[in-house]
Structure 1
């Protein structure tokens, strides 16, 4: 099942002109993304998707910081925490 949300589209559109970074975030399309209380939750259904997004964490943080979506990104595998990535507030455009 492909849970394709507006948050997913927003993050992928951030890299629409940079195909190498967009390719690294392909796993995002197979994950469910939600946002609450300053945390962006990326719930993956496969270990491969969770590992790929953890490895591409620096790429995932950039649009989240620039668009002020959250202060932290949590990558989960079927509800279990795999990685917690803090979003650097100094990356915000003032």
Structure 2
């Protein structure tokens, strides 16, 4: 098995460049073959649409194939800390 280091911030930055993305987090989810794969969790800006295939096409030309999330989940809200940072542990529990 080949190990690839994926830095969530790099993927999040690329998705956040999409006008329709209000908030973005990339988390790791278990995978039978790879151990863990990236999943993008996106809050879509009100009044916008952001289909999954648009996100993946956008990333496909910006990132190495190994870094493109294997799944995209759209949420209605994002858990945040008191300082406004996204609570990724809560997102992992929600999408398990």
Q: Structure 2 length normalisation: TM-score?
A: 0.41
> TM-score under structure 1 normalisation?
0.42
Rg: which structure is higher? 2
Which one has the bigger helix percentage? 1
